[in-house]
Amino acid sequence: MINKPVKKALGRVVKSTEMPDITKNFSPKQLAEAITAKRTGMKLTLVDVSEALSISKPTLIKIEKGDTSVKLANLLKVMEYLGLSFSIVSDDLIPNSTTTGVNDDEWY
């Protein structure tokens, strides 16, 4: 279980980044920006997150640069810690074929 982030005592200097428009189509860059924005908005430093999750600073920086050569597990740990998540989008989906009861093989 991961501990929830806690606002540190006082007076730390953390630059806040603007949140990207997450209604736009997904891209690794946009995800990276959302992560940085969320982290800085919560007044957490890279080292704060690094220590809380036991992930090295260079790896966190890769994540926040949108580098996709990172382990999915590490990305998900960071996202969960910051209160970010995914929803899955299908280009052409009839949500749940069990609700309609028909067409079970043609939803895509």
Partner DNA sequence: CATATAAGTTAACTTTAGTTTACTTTTATA
Partner DNA sequence: TATAAAAGTAAACTAAAGTTAACTTATATG
- Catalog residues that contact DNA under the rule CB under 7 A: 11-15, 40, 45-47, 54-59, 61-62, 64-65, 69-71, 73-74
- Residue holding tokens 């890279």? 46
14 binds, among its own copies, DNA, none (CB under 5 to 8 A by kind): DNA
Among the listed residues 41, 52, 53, 61, the single contact to its own copies using CB under 8 A: 41
> Does residue 81 come out as left (phi exceeding 0), alpha (psi in the -120 to 50 range) or beta?
alpha
CB atoms within 10 A of CB 6: 10
Q: Is 93 in the site for its own copies (CB under 8 A)?
A: yes
